[in-house]
Structure 1
């Protein structure tokens, strides 16, 4: 399988005039090149990396520029090897054959150091280089005359860790790179390293985010929302989006994306949702804890729902603390079933303690700690009672249990 490589050839210079030198490359010019690299890292598109690399080639008077890993695989994940101003067939021939014959890169790699630049004549005697098959059959036909190598080691993520190299090449119309240009290349290398590292981390985060979104989409027909610590919806799977789009839905989003309940719902329900979201996000220094809340509606065209609000373990792909909100839709319009301890005992053969715990859960929709305080028992006891109730009622979550108790036949 051939590695994925970006080749940009549209900006090849022509004419007989030598390329300019970078002896007068100022700190402001280096800053502009660094900004181009960071823009490429944040943008993520290969075309933006090509633009940044082309600007570096121009600044150093190079006819071609290459950015690629030199160990640990064919790519760094989201940051692909890029050949700027090299004909596609020549770039591909380097990857498929001539790269293994390149005498300079392996020698330079052995001499490498973090953010270190080297010139070709410091690596191999010119006469020895010109006698190689690589020079005669690949470099010379392209007019490649002299080169500079800059090595760097990207930061995490570790799975993409591996040395990288920025290569600048001049053709026979230009002078060789000098030590001043070598020093300026070394001054640029920390920015190359940071930009590639940032690109890897952002690309990894986007991949994780896409995988997470796909997983939540597979929960359909259950709706799933990810809500940040400010109460704003940052992701909704397809089932949740369908519900949020309805004008008569029990829940919705404000203009700034904040999750809210229908204006027809009691104000106490809105307060319960805000409280549950804050508690699940671990705000005010409290330990994160989940819970459930019933959102009723008063018309017959929409169904009431039960929201199960849970702390979300790994929110790194989204860059903030998140809460997972699972949506269970009731099968019948909201009613006021005669919920009593005796009725629950008779229906599902619950013990008095189990029935009392289930009844309080249905009425308050709170987490284990709050239920424990009201019942005067430990959270462990509450969890034990609820687990037995789930087994006896053949339900698999607290939200499903609340929906059954509120809307199922008792």
Structure 2
């Protein structure tokens, strides 16, 4: 078992499965898994050699019957333990967990370690021997114990990388909900990260410079002048796409430049200019205590920017529409249509569309 293989597993869940395979083979086990457990269930982060349906049964049905888990959890964080002696106890043999879950799979022993124990959360590694085989020996436990410091560090690094990936996914979701897109570039203007939905439309490729000439020029100009730049993207698209390009510089940690690509040097925010914003009319109405009819009038004003046709569009007399409109002006402390629309656009929602998709 090579130490470098353990640390390689920190950089992707697919590498965790490879690590588990190596551990299983190194310790003459038949299967293994890495799991996170919370009070109401368990999630298997990676596994090797197990029937996935068997693991699913544990998570959905047998976790609550696991008579061994509380006792294994009593071990100190980072301490390797085996389950063979416990599996021989009459009370364990008579339990639903052993009789219906472990015995049918021929489980002989479980060499386990709580890599991390936190209130309400634990991460543990288990190697399982099944069938007509001997249980784990003390020498097996000691060999795994020597690897635990490296396993803990690798899982810790992997956890932080997973958190960063989740945060990036959340950012993409937020930006896409507004109908916008975000690119992240390094100092050489190479793409480090981008919205997957915009990749084809904008001809983006990870680790390469921005390909569309008009977009590349707009990014350079926006970065130079420090102001947003509007541009029409017509390269390779059937219908020109008008976008607003904003470039936000990022204070870099040069340590991040040690990767395959450099660290993030700037964030490019792209906003479509051919889509109207979605205004939270209901929120405005609730905040300023507008009546339902006043809310309808406000929605019409914001949507059409035409005061003359309000009555005909809403099925009311022009004088009635104007009365409602003036009450809206009073409640919102706006002096007219322009100020009211400006106020409404402070209530833009984040549900404008899907990235730059058409």
Aligned 1:298-377 pairs, distance under 5 A: 307-311=245-249, 320-326=264-270
Match of 2:227 among 285, 288, 291: 291
1-structure distance, mates of 2:32, 2:17? 9
Q: Specify the alignment match of 1:116 in structure 2.
A: 79
Encode CA deviations 1:108-153: one digit per residue, 9 max, x unaligned: 212x22211012257x483445643233443333222222221111
Say if 1:259 and 1:291 are closer, same or farther in 2 by CA, change over 3 A: farther
Q: Specify the alignment match of 1:126 in structure 2.
A: 88
2-structure distance, mates of 1:62, 1:270? 55
2-structure distance, mates of 1:291, 1:151? 52
SS of residue in 1 equivalent to 2:38: coil
Higher relative contact order (CA 8 A, sep 6+): 2
Q: Specify the alignment match of 2:328 in structure 1.
A: none
SS of residue in 2 equivalent to 1:163: strand
**1:43 pairs with 2:12:** yes
Structure 1 alignment gaps of length 5 or more:
1-28, 246-251, 277-289, 331-389, 398-410
**1:103 pairs with 2:52:** no
1-structure distance, mates of 2:109, 2:242? 73
2-structure distance, mates of 1:131, 1:329? 68
Q: Specify the alignment match of 1:400 in structure 2.
A: none
Say if 1:182 and 1:226 are closer, same or farther in 2 by CA, change over 3 A: closer
Aligned 1:173-192 pairs, distance under 5 A: 173-192=132-151
Say if 1:92 and 1:262 are closer, same or farther in 2 by CA, change over 3 A: closer
- Indicate conservation of the 8 Å contact 1:66/1:167, yes or no: yes
Encode CA deviations 1:137-177: one digit per residue, 9 max, x unaligned: 4333322222222111189xx9xx82222222223522222
Q: Specify the alignment match of 1:257 in structure 2.
A: 209
**1:86 pairs with 2:44:** no
Encode CA deviations 1:294-327: one digit per residue, 9 max, x unaligned: 7799xxx9899864433569999x9634333446
- Indicate conservation of the 8 Å contact 1:44/1:203, yes or no: no
* CA displacement at 1:187 relative to structure 2: 1.9
Match of 2:108 among 145, 149, 153: 145
**1:53 pairs with 2:53:** no
- Indicate conservation of the 8 Å contact 1:226/1:236, yes or no: no
Aligned residues: 266
- Indicate conservation of the 8 Å contact 1:216/1:237, yes or no: no
- Indicate conservation of the 8 Å contact 1:307/1:328, yes or no: no
Larger Rg: 1
SS of residue in 1 equivalent to 2:29: coil
* CA displacement at 1:178 relative to structure 2: 1.8
- Indicate conservation of the 8 Å contact 1:305/1:327, yes or no: yes
**1:68 pairs with 2:35:** yes
1-structure distance, mates of 2:232, 2:92? 82
Structure 2 alignment gaps of length 5 or more:
234-238, 257-261, 275-337, 347-358
- Across the aligned residues of Structure 1 and Structure 2, the Cα RMSD in angstroms comes to 4.8
- Indicate conservation of the 8 Å contact 2:17/2:46, yes or no: yes
